[in-house]
Amino acid sequence: MPAKRILPVTLAALATLGMGSAAAGPIDTRHWRVEAGDTLFGIARQLAPGDRDRQRVLRRWILEHNPAVFGGNPNHLPLGATLALPSAPAAQRERVATPLSPTPRPVAAATVKPAPAAGNTARSTTPTTVPVAAPARPAEREEAPPIGRIIIAAGTVGIESPTGIERSDRRLHEGDTLETGPDSTAQIRLSDGSLMTLRPNTRLRIARYHFDRTAPQQDATTLELIKGGLRTLTGIIGKRNRDRYQVRTSVATIGIRGTHYGLRLCGPDDCPGHAPGLYGAVADGAIVVRNGQGEFRFGNDEYFHLASANARPRGLIRPPGVIFDADRGLKRAQRALKAAAARQDRAELIRRLARRGHPEALAIARLLPLARPGLIKADQSQANNLAMKRAPFGAATVVAFNDTRFGVGSDSAAVRDNGTPDQVILLGRRGPVKNLPVMLRATDPLSNSVYGFAAGQATLADIGGHPMGVNWGRWNGPFVVAENGNPAPHAGNFHFAYSPNIATLQQLGQLGPLLGQVTYTTPTFGSPGTRPTDHLGNAGTVNLATMDVDFGAQQITNYYIDVTVNGNNYDGALQQPVSLPQAVVDGMPLANISTSGTCATAGGCTGVASVSFVNDYTQNRPAAGAISSYSINTIDGSSGVSGVVFMTRP
């Protein structure tokens, strides 16, 4: 990280809606006001307790029908925002394009007012408009709900809707027709758990499909194999309602008495070395073949050939080479399928990490490339001992460390997780202490340089916290700091203070009438922050930390820090007022004001401080605290100190 410079954090990530209030939670049956601690998964669980299928439908519906709130990121839930909810029938159906109202109406805008903090009677009431998704068109309401999806595809695979429109996604609906090209194959899974693999040059229509876990009497599966072949493991329908499952072909209809079988429909030139007709093989259970000659049953390890609709099936003594044994084209497709599966597994691993965290250091390194592959290995031991998770949207960490790239010195920065790989905080847990920043990534929007930190095999010191939702500490030892993938020399300690309850710039801008001018100081109890350290790793004490904020003028008018490390005294102060947005986004420059001590002896000190304000949701007090990191360096380059402090207002 560049010496004596704060990492900028994008204003877009800070500009979210106001704090929650007592009105948060369900407003009525059609709307939900977001409050502190709400998540998309949590809201769905409260709306449909114990019903995981319905929760899944609700999550998808809420995400897709509130684009202005989420912006495509399911972790983005601004406090005070209003979410549209589906009607009860819509929530029970697996239909994404359900309208918000039973009667079509034009696109409208829902007015959302930021919920005021307790006691704030003069707060701005300027409404913010959040677009409401337009009702679905009649054609969308008539669309059959998804019944399954293509889970793996290799080569050319297409889905055609009942109206003849080519689908762009992998979801399957009743009436869809699937087609694979030459040297292509696909694997699909339907909602009852059935698994099906399609051969090259196959065309299959899902003529009828209905599955309701609670209504077996309504089960129905009718497939039409128009050309090509398939191999399938039947699901719940095939196990509990076999008479309502069938596969139609041009020469026979197939019913089932088992779970694992394969079919291949060969035209005159489709299967070299084999006569035209329908070939079948049973691996487990039994199937029933019906045509103009009657009904014929084949069981385990039995094979047959049916030449035409009016012929009797002929038993085969060995498996035909056109079903379970692949031709060369299918073998090539299977190799491609295996490679596609490996890519999908890797992608899914990264998605799981982004959503819930993952303990494997190599997976973390894929999502968060802080340094060259050889350098990131230093973090494997530490990462394997910690349960990793992604910090929630809007959480912030202020950090400080001793930077030795340009001689003796220190640096300070602030990183806010904005839901993208550009600003990322990965958290771990050590014993009873949780939410420890273990990896950070930040991109400087001006230079596009990528900065990163990984705890490596460093140990923890000065661990502390506050009930407001703040914790702090320092990593001491072989941690990793990188700039654009290159290691950045550093010494000794990496200080941090973290909180998920960070006030946005919009929230801070509304506090003028409520707070006016206030002073933030360190609490009288315990150790409100880490002990400052110098470039040699010596730890000292904080003598004084204070900050004056004029919320009416939106300025920080005073900031002062005084510390002693290894018998040397350092101080840094704000020389002139700094606007509140500038201090939060870019930090504050510091210089010494004392006429004695180490700074005076060395010809003066310069430094930087970063700050993020913390909301106390337990007491409904906005900006009740502040986390701040600082770095102070002597002008002659002989020494530097760094640390973090936690301050509160009256």
Is the CB of residue 574 less than 8 Å from the CB of residue 560? yes
CB neighbour list of residue 310: distance below 8 Å, 6 or more residues apart? 291, 292, 293
Provide mean pLDDT across the span 2-16: 30
Q: 152 and 137 in one domain?
A: no
Q: Which helix (H) or strand (E) holds 208?
A: strand 203-210
- Total domain count, the chain: 3
pLDDT tops 80 at residue 90: no
pLDDT tops 80 at residue 7: no
Q: Which two tokens stand for residue 579?
A: 């606007």
First to last CA, the chain: 35
Residue 127 belongs to domain spanning:
17-94+96-141
Give the residue with greater pLDDT, 576 vs 41: 576
Q: Which residue has the tokens 């910090």?
A: 391
Please report the pLDDT score of residue 133 as a whole number.
36
* Choice among 196-210, 371-385, 563-577 with the minimum mean pLDDT: 371-385
Rounded CA gap, 58 and 83, in Å?
A: 12
Q: 416 and 385 in one domain?
A: yes
Question: Does residue 338 lie within any of the structural domains?
Answer: no
pLDDT tops 50 at residue 489: yes
pLDDT in tens, 602-627: 888 888 999 999 999 888 899 999 99
Question: Does residue 476 lie within any of the structural domains?
Answer: yes
Identify the DSSP state of 158: E
Rounded CA gap, 625 and 437, in Å?
A: 19
Q: Which residue has the tokens 């380059």?
A: 637
Give the residue with greater pLDDT, 364 vs 338: 338
Q: Identify the band that residue 165 occupies on the pLDDT scale cut at 50, 70 and 90.
A: confident
Is the CB of residue 643 less than 8 Å from the CB of residue 628? no
Rounded CA gap, 121 and 111, in Å?
A: 20
* Choice among 30-44, 234-248, 266-280 with the minimum mean pLDDT: 30-44
Give the residue with greater pLDDT, 482 vs 550: 550
Pairing of strands 220-233, 245-248: parallel
Centroid of chain to Cα 410:
33
Helical H runs in 129-284?
138-142, 236-240
Provide mean pLDDT across the span 302-320: 91
Q: Which helix (H) or strand (E) holds 295?
A: strand 294-298
Last residue within a domain, chosen from 85, 108, 141:
141
Question: Does residue 472 lie within any of the structural domains?
Answer: yes
Of 4-8, 113-117, 629-633, give the range with the top mean pLDDT: 629-633
Rounded CA gap, 325 and 331, in Å?
A: 9
Rounded CA gap, 176 and 248, in Å?
A: 15
Rounded CA gap, 300 and 286, in Å?
A: 6
Give the residue with greater pLDDT, 213 vs 428: 213
Give the residue with greater pLDDT, 435 vs 448: 435
Provide mean pLDDT across the span 333-341: 62
Question: Does residue 11 lie within any of the structural domains?
Answer: no
403 φ, ψ (degrees, to nearest 5): -95, 125
Q: Is 434 helix (H, G, I), strand (E, B) or coil?
A: strand
Share of the chain above pLDDT 90, in %: 30
Q: What CATH number is attached to the domain comprising 169?
A: 2.60.120.1440
Last residue within a domain, chosen from 286, 316, 331:
331
Q: Which residue has the tokens 């977001």?
A: 34
Q: 377 and 299 in one domain?
A: no
Q: Which residue has the tokens 């299928």?
A: 53
Q: 366 and 261 in one domain?
A: no
pLDDT tops 90 at residue 41: no
Q: 223 and 174 in one domain?
A: yes
Give DSSP secondary structure letters for 84-96.
E---HHHHHS--T
The mean pLDDT value of the chain amounts to 76
Last residue within a domain, chosen from 314, 331, 348:
331
Q: Identify the band that residue 542 occupies on the pLDDT scale cut at 50, 70 and 90.
A: very high
Q: 217 and 89 in one domain?
A: no
Q: Rg (Cα) of the chain, in Å, rounded?
A: 32
Rounded CA gap, 231 and 216, in Å?
A: 24
Q: Identify the band that residue 491 occupies on the pLDDT scale cut at 50, 70 and 90.
A: confident
Q: 552 and 523 in one domain?
A: yes
Please report the pLDDT score of residue 502 as a whole number.
93
CB atoms within 10 A of CB 431: 7
Question: Does residue 64 lie within any of the structural domains?
Answer: yes
Q: 446 and 587 in one domain?
A: yes
pLDDT in tens, 95-129: 333 222 223 333 333 333 333 333 333 333 333 33
Of 106-115, 127-136, 403-412, give the range with the top mean pLDDT: 403-412
CB atoms within 10 A of CB 435: 20
Which segments within 313-420 are labelled E, that is strand?
314-316, 389-390, 396-403, 411-416
- pTM, entire model: 0.47
Question: Does residue 159 lie within any of the structural domains?
Answer: yes
Determine the Cα angle at 401 with ends 625 and 450, to 5°. 95
Give the residue with greater pLDDT, 53 vs 173: 173
Q: How many residues does the chain have?
A: 650
Provide mean pLDDT across the span 403-419: 68
Q: 195 and 233 in one domain?
A: yes
Question: Does residue 134 lie within any of the structural domains?
Answer: yes
Please report the pLDDT score of residue 297 as a whole number.
92
Q: 244 and 256 in one domain?
A: yes
Question: Does residue 252 lie within any of the structural domains?
Answer: yes
* Choice among 102-116, 269-283, 297-311 with the minimum mean pLDDT: 102-116
Q: 187 and 175 in one domain?
A: yes
Give DSSP secondary structure letters for 536-579.
T--B-EEEEEEEEEETTTTEEEEEEEEEEETTEEEEEE-SS-EE
Q: 101 and 157 in one domain?
A: no
Pairing of strands 128-131, 109-112: antiparallel
Q: Identify the band that residue 258 occupies on the pLDDT scale cut at 50, 70 and 90.
A: low
pLDDT tops 70 at residue 21: no
Q: Identify the band that residue 405 occupies on the pLDDT scale cut at 50, 70 and 90.
A: low
Rounded CA gap, 8 and 183, in Å?
A: 51
CB neighbour list of residue 87: distance below 8 Å, 6 or more residues apart? 29, 30, 98, 100, 102
